[in-house]
A = this chain, B = another copy of it.
Amino acid sequence: MSESQHADRLNLLPQAEIECRVAKIKAEMSVAGIEALLIADNANKYYLSGRVFAGQIYIPLHGAPIYFIRRPVGLEGDGVVYLRKPEEMVQSIAQPHPVSLGLELDSQSFSSVNRLAAIFPEAELKNGSALLRRVRAVKTPAEIEMLRRSGIRHTAVYARIPSLFRAGMSDIELQVEIERLSRLEGCLGQFRISGDSMELYMGNLLVGANADSPSPYDFAMGGAGLDPSLPVGANGTIIRPGSAVMVDMNGNYDGYMTDMTRVFSLGQLPDLAHKAHRCSIDIHRALCRMMRPGIEAKALWLRAEEIVEQAGLKPYYMGHRQQAGFIGHGLGIEINELPVIAPRSRDILEAGNVIALEPKFVIPMVGAVGIENTYIVGDDGIECLTTAPEEIIALDV
């Protein structure tokens, strides 16, 4: 085969979609006083091209993006420049060079930032991370379509979870069967997480007292994990009668993730567990009525807090031994996008936000209850992308 037969388009997004995303970024660059933005983060490169590659994207405030590619070989398209080292990009960038350069200071390593910044020694260094997070918080219709597709497949997998259960299974045995089903349904597995300290493999399934094992992360419920090198999630607990089984598994089916949690039970759960689960659903209902463009994220958090206090469930809310500091988060390419639904959040909801709400409770010795859904915020109301049944589902019927 000739090389040209191997050639592949760099840019997998429709031209209009690219232009829309670049225009949103340039508007933010203009406000931030950034003359050029140099993007190296996989999530942001994917956002701007529809694929992941090794290299950088250079976006001048005035002019067309340049895609500097190291690997893979064989990509073609407007603005594609192959290079071996980032230092070579200087030859492709028109003079005068930018006087201010935005880099992803929150996600790129100190050494990488210094290497890229040194290519433009005259430019003032600015932080482009927040700008990109703000732009990506408001999804385009094309992105929402990708999220809907992930939601459909995610929901289809959850519907089949009861059929995977066998008496005597451990938490990890049930999780592995859900992982298998998810992967056969097309789940990519990868959890993209902004920031490099959170590690998680394919999701969490938490049974009984293990839900109350505090994790290194800002989670309502953590789980001890199978090994102290990855201390989160299932720990080998046998699923016994009287246990709640909380399932919070990866919904990345096409590069855009939905987030969904459901609870299953074996045998009879105490009334407290049912009451708390009901309270979580009530919070979802109340917050769904409030989630409109213009509302403050912290108002959602406060409303949920009120509902929990009225129900007398505060000691169990968002964890018991260790409590999480948020009850919802934006998501899309990464699992922790904007807005953040937390008491000190300054985020204000916009149409096009996609938000996972996860008011949860840990009932000591029983397990975790409550649901998580992913919602699109629209001008006229919300749309739920994760539509599996919300009540606690018995595994033994």
Contacts A189-B202, A199-B42, A202-B189 hold; do A228 and B255 have CB atoms under 8 A apart? yes
Q: Min CB distance, A163 to chain B, in Å?
A: 16
Question: Are the C-beta atoms of A322 and B228 separated by less than 8 Å?
Answer: no
Q: Which residues of chain A from 94 to 123 have any CB-CB distance to chain B below 8 Å in the complex? A: 103, 105-114
Set B52, B202, B217, B228: member contacting A54, Cβ < 8 A: B217
Known: A72-B222, A109-B109, A111-B127. A184 touches B176 (CB 8 A): yes
Q: Is A27 in the interface zone, CB < 8 Å from B?
A: no
Q: Assess whether A88 is interfacial by the CB under 8 Å rule.
A: no
In the complex, the answer to whether A73 meets B227 with C-beta atoms within 8 Å is: no
- Docked-complex contact B52 and A229, CB < 8 angstroms: yes
A241 within 8 A of B: no
The interface size of chain A toward B, counting residues with CB under 8 Å, comes to 65
Q: Does A312 sit at the interface, judged by CB under 8 A? A: no
Could you say which of B176, B197, B322 contacts A40, with CB atoms under 8 Å apart?
A: B197
Q: Chain B residues with Cβ under 8 A from A254's Cβ?
A: 227, 229
A sample of 19 more A-B contacts (CB under 8 A), given A46-B228, A72-B215, A196-B196, is A42-B196, A42-B197, A51-B231, A52-B199, A54-B217, A71-B215, A71-B218, A72-B214, A72-B322, A73-B322, A74-B214, A107-B196, A108-B109, A173-B184, A176-B183, A177-B180, A179-B180, A180-B180, A190-B230
Task: Label chain A's interface by main secondary structure.
Answer: loop
Whether A231 and B72, one on each chain, are in contact in the complex, defined by CB atoms closer than 8 angstroms, is yes
CB-based nearest B residue for A364:
B1
A-B pairs with beta carbons under 8 Å apart, 29 shown:
A12-B228, A40-B197, A42-B196, A51-B228, A51-B229, A52-B229, A54-B197, A71-B217, A72-B214, A72-B216, A72-B322, A106-B110, A108-B110, A109-B109, A111-B129, A173-B184, A175-B183, A176-B180, A176-B184, A179-B179, A179-B180, A180-B180, A189-B202, A190-B229, A190-B230, A227-B254, A229-B255, A229-B333, A230-B255
